[in-house]
Every structure is written in structure tokens, then in C-alpha cells.
């Protein structure tokens, strides 16, 4: 069939049904546009199927087991057994519920769904192949297109995901048994979350990282706490080592590493998890057919309305660049849909929060103190340690802190860094405050519920104003 014989005509073609694509599709349909969403694999994308949701389900369950086993100080004596197959079935139930919810929501909003892989044929037509077969492709003619094809895990030479001993994060999240020994390559956020989780359910974990620290995107006083908790759980860190190869051994496998000076080491394992980053999926889209060129890292360049170099082709989510986070993908999806609908929505990326679900969790938003200095501010900084939080102590937690950064001249809140239990939740308040243009004083004067972890945010603001009650002022 020639492209001109398109079987479907649509106002908006959305390619990819992850949090970028399905949100764009639903919002565009809410604006009475005719929308067709094509998904090659599973509705909900990486986030719901191989990323945020299954990882957080595993992490929560591992926390339950670990907390129960370590509650003797509270007078609770338990020795929980983790049945990984049952745990995985529970996790799959959570994923199924959410992915079927996405499908139902799309349909209920009038979005037409096509299961297949879309590639561009020309700048107003895409071809959709069904399954692995090239037979009976479908053609979709579109006025506007939102590319939301996400990202895939990066392989490293010698470690092919096709081998059962080598895990991608997706394989790790499909695990039905706990490896006795697990080597994790990469101490970024995915590597750290999964190492901590597997250590809590009984694996001996070794993390191999070429750099000299974990979570290099975060300040050292934040990562030190997370690293030291992981080490307490038995996670062994091997910094400055790059994984060079693996081979089968008598029992399991051996993973070989090498330092920059050529020093070699070998670690025994049952599985090796490669978590060295993710790459945007732009290579399989037929971008040549529409004359779009990804940048050197494979990302599509967009403006503040998510438009690519072609006015009618938009890119959202992981495919459009860092930060590769689900909530950023959805926010971009909304902007793309509303722009197509003729509205003047733009991206305001002042305060995109980020969370790492380690133990304790990390939450960040806006500027750190050093970033504020670099940006020309004379910052004020306030901090509240969790050891002074009544609620944290009732949760048997005492590590971490809430830190706020404000503009010394105007008092405006510029950023927050939280390393604490529930940091992923605590960071939301700071994000809202930044978004609303609040001052540090506004946060200090907001009455917070007692006893809660969020009081630490108020106390950090008071500390920045040199008015803290429960900590010594700076």
C-alpha cells in the first residue's frame, strides 16, 4: 500500500503510550482533537511496565521484610521469609491494574488505540507494523505528531542482555528468585535503588562503578548517607572499577573489572545487572523520512513548547532529553497537546523535582547552595536534621536532613534537598512553594501538622531565618 492510501486519518498521532504519550493523547482528546495513539509493546511504557511502578513495588515489599526483621529494638521479633515468586506476582498485579487503567482512560476519552510499531513514511504519514510481521501494515495520516518513544537501557560491550546471566533493569524487575550474589554495574539512581532492594531481600550485592562515587548528580553529603546505609545492608562498593567482561564459572559467573591503572579484580555472582544509563529511542522511527536529525546523544531537540525543528512534530519525555523522569514526560505531554490545540502553554522547568527511592530516600528540587552561588545569588541556607524530628524518631529513623536554599536578597525560595524517609513526598511541598514564588519566611510561617516529617521543612526554613526552635541556628 502506498502512503497516500492511508487507512486512518487523524488530527494527532501519538507514537508511544508511556507517561509522555498517553498523557499527551488524553489531553489532546480533552480538547476535542481526533487522536490516535500507537503503542508497540505495553500501555504505560517503561514507567508502568519496567520502571517506576515495578521498582517501587519491589522496594516497598523489600522494606516491609527488612523493617520487620529489624524491629527488635521496638520489641518486635520477626524473621520474615521472602517468597520472590509471590512478591513478583503481587507486583505484576499492581502493574496490570495500572496499565489496564491507562488503556481504559484513553478509550474513555475517545483516543483511538493501535497496537504496533510506527515509523515515519513522510512528514504527514506513519506506517504501523503489527507484531514482528511486516504483513498488512497500517498507514496513519496525521496533521500533528507527538513522538513519545521513550528510552531503552544501554548495553556495554561484552554484556549482552540476550544472555540470561546479564540483566537489564527490566530483567531485574521481572525476577522471580533472589540471586545469592548479584553484581550491579553502575551506581546511578537505578543501580542504587535496585542494589538496596536486592540487599534487603537477601542478596549479596557488589556495586561496580567507574566513577569514584555513587549518584554523582547529587552532593556528597547527601549520597554519603545513602551509601553508608547501603553498606550497612551489606552492599559492597567498588569505585573506580569498570566491568570488562564476564564468564561462566563452576558455580554461577565471574565478573571481571579493571581500574584506570590496569588493576584487575573478579567478583563471583549469579547474575550481573547492567544499570549504566538509558538511551532515547529515536533510531527505529524512520526520522530520515521527515528530515529530523537527533543530536549526538540521540535526543530530539525541542523548544519550550515541545516542538521539534518541524512545526507539526513534537517530542516529549525521555526522547526529548534530560531529566529522563516520568513526571517531566507527562508535563511535556500536556504542553504538546495544548500547543496543538492552539493554546499558549509553555514549559516552566524551574522546579522539576527528582526522587531516588534508596534508603533513606532522596528528593531534590530547584537549586543547591553551590548552584545558587553559580547563578549569581547570595544564598541563605537552612537545615533540619532528621535526628531532631520527633516523627522521624517514632518511625525508628534518624538519618538525613531537609535543606532549603533561598535568595539572601529577596528571601525567595530557590531550592530544597531532602535525604530522609519519605523524601519523595516531602519534596513536593518545596516544589509547590518554589512554583508559587514563596519566600523562605512563607514556609517558616506556614503551620505544619505535628508530628510529621514535613515539620522538618518548616524548621529548615526557620533555621535559614536564624529562628529555629528545635535546632541550633547557623
Q: By CB under 6 A, name the binding residues for ligand FAD.
A: 15-21, 38-42, 45-47, 50-52, 55, 117-118, 148-151, 169, 190, 281, 284-285, 317-319, 324-327, 329, 357
Q: Strand 271-274 relative to strand 166-167: parallel, antiparallel, unpaired?
A: parallel
Q: Is the peptide bond before 360 cis (omega within 30 degrees of 0)?
A: yes
Give the nearest distance from C-beta 152 to ligand FAD in angstroms.
Answer: 8
In the block, residue with C-alpha cell 556528597: 220
Task: Kindly tell me which of 190 and 460 has the beta carbon lying closer to ligand FAD.
Answer: 190
Give the nearest distance from C-beta 327 to ligand FAD in angstroms.
Answer: 5
Give the nearest distance from C-beta 310 to ligand FAD in angstroms.
Answer: 17
Distance, CA of 306 to CA of 413 (rounded, Å): 27
Long-range Cβ pairs for the range 100-106 (8 Å, 24+): 100/43, 102/17, 102/22, 102/43, 102/44, 102/48, 103/43, 105/22, 105/26, 106/17, 106/22, 106/25, 106/26, 106/29, 106/37, 106/43
Task: Kindly tell me which of 299 and 401 has the beta carbon lying closer to ligand FAD.
Answer: 299
- Residue pair 443/457 in contact (Cβ under 8 Å)? The answer is yes
Task: Kindly tell me which of 33 and 275 has the beta carbon lying closer to ligand FAD.
Answer: 275
Task: Kindly tell me which of 26 and 464 has the beta carbon lying closer to ligand FAD.
Answer: 26
Name which of 163, 161, 229, 158 is nearest 200 in CA terms: 229
Catalytic residue among 31, 77, 124, 450: 450
Name which of 359, 357, 377 is nearest 367 in CA terms: 377
DSSP 370-401: HHHHHTT--EEEEEEEGGG-HHHHHTT----E
Task: Kindly tell me which of 170 and 213 has the beta carbon lying closer to ligand FAD.
Answer: 170
- Residue pair 37/316 in contact (Cβ under 8 Å)? The answer is no
Give the nearest distance from C-beta 184 to ligand FAD in angstroms.
Answer: 12
Give the nearest distance from C-beta 445 to ligand FAD in angstroms.
Answer: 31
Distance, CA of 108 to CA of 102 (rounded, Å): 10
| 450 has catalytic annotation | yes
Distance, CA of 186 to CA of 184 (rounded, Å): 6
Exposed e or buried b per residue across 270-297, where buried means at least 16 C-beta atoms within 10 angstroms of its C-beta: bbbbbbbebbbbbeebebebbebebeee
- Residue pair 111/31 in contact (Cβ under 8 Å)? The answer is no
Give the nearest distance from C-beta 55 to ligand FAD in angstroms.
Answer: 4
DSSP tag of 427: H
Distance, CA of 56 to CA of 25 (rounded, Å): 26
Name which of 83, 242, 249 is nearest 176 in CA terms: 83
Task: Kindly tell me which of 39 and 462 has the beta carbon lying closer to ligand FAD.
Answer: 39
Give the nearest distance from C-beta 432 to ligand FAD in angstroms.
Answer: 17
Joined grid coordinates for residue 420 = 530522609
Give the nearest distance from C-beta 155 to ligand FAD in angstroms.
Answer: 14
DSSP tag of 30: H
Joined grid coordinates for residue 171 = 530483567
Task: Kindly tell me which of 50 and 397 has the beta carbon lying closer to ligand FAD.
Answer: 50
Task: Kindly tell me which of 243 and 275 has the beta carbon lying closer to ligand FAD.
Answer: 275
Active site residues: 450
Amino acid at each position: 500500500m502506498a502512503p497516500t492510501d492511508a487507512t486512518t486519518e487523524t488530527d494527532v498521532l501519538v507514537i508511544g503510550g508511556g507517561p509522555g504519550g498517553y498523557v499527551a493523547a488524553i489531553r489532546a482528546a480533552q480538547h476535542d482533537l481526533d487522536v490516535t495513539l500507537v503503542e508497540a509493546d505495553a500501555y504505560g511504557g517503561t514507567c508502568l511496565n519496567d520502571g517506576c511502578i515495578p521498582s517501587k513495588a519491589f522496594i516497598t515489599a523489600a522494606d516491609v521484610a527488612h523493617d520487620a526483621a529489624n524491629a527488635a529494638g521496638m520489641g518486635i521479633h520477626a524473621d520474615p521469609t521472602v517468597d520472590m515468586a509471590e512478591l513478583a506476582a503481587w507486583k505484576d498485579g499492581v502493574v496490570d491494574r495500572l496499565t489496564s487503567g491507562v488503556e481504559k482512560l484513553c478509550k474513555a476519552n475517545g483516543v483511538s488505540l493501535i497496537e504496533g510499531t510506527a515509523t515515519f513514511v513522510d512528514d504527514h504519514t506513519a506506517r504501523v507494523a503489527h507484531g514482528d510481521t511486516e504483513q498488512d501494515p497500517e498507514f496513519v495520516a496525521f496533521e500533528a505528531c507527538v513522538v513519545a518513544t521513550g528510552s531503552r537501557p544501554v548495553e556495554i560491550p561484552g554484556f549482552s542482555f540476550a544472555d540470561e546471566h546479564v540483566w537489564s533493569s527490566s530483567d531485574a524487575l521481572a525476577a522471580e528468585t533472589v540471586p545469592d550474589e548479584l553484581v550491579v554495574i553502575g551506581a546511578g539512581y537505578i543501580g542504587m535503588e535496585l542494589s538496596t532492594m536486592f540487599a534487603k531481600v537477601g542478596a549479596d550485592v557488589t556495586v561496580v562503578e567507574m566513577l569514584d562515587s555513587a549518584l554523582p548528580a547529587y552532593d556528597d553529603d547527601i549520597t554519603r548517607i545513602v551509601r553508608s546505609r547501603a553498606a550497612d545492608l551489606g552492599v559492597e562498593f567498588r569505585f573506580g572499577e569498570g566491568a570488562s567482561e564476564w564468564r561462566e564459572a563452576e558455580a554461577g559467573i565471574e565478573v571481571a573489572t579493571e581500574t584506570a591503572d590496569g588493576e584487575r579484580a573478579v567478583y563471583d555472582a549469579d547474575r550481573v545487572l547492567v544499570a549504566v544509563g538509558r538511551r532515547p529511542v529515536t533510531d527505529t522511527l524512520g526520522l530520515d523520512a521527515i528530515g529530523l536529525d537527533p543530536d549526538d546523544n540521540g535526543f530530539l531537540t525541542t523548544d519550550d513548547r515541545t516542538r521539534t525543528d518541524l512545526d507539526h512534530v513534537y517530542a516529549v519525555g525521555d526522547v526529548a532529553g534530560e531529566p529522563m523522569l516520568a513526571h517531566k514526560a507527562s508535563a511535556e505531554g500536556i504542553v504538546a497537546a495544548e500547543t496543538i490545540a492552539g493554546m499558549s502553554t509553555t514549559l516552566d522547568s524551574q522546579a522539576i523535582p527528582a526522587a531516588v527511592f534508596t534508603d533513606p530516600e532522596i528528593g531534590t528540587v530547584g537549586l543547591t547552595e553551590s548552584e545558587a552561588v553559580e547563578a549569581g545569588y547570595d544564598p541563605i541556607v537552612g537545615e533540619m536534621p532528621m535526628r531532631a524530628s520527633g516523627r522521624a524518631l517514632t518511625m525508628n529513623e534518624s538519618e538525613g536532613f531537609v535543606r532549603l536554599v533561598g535568595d539572601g536578597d529577596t528571601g525567595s525560595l530557590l531550592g530544597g534537598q531532602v535525604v530522609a524517609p519519605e523524601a519523595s513526598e516531602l519534596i513536593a511541598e518545596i516544589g509547590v512553594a518554589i512554583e508559587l514564588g514563596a519566600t523562605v519566611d512563607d514556609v517558616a510561617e506556614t503551620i505544619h501538622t505535628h508530628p510529621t516529617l514535613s515539620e522538618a521543612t518548616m524548621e529548615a526554613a526557620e533555621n535559614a531565618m536564624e529562628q529555629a526552635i528545635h535546632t541550633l541556628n547557623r
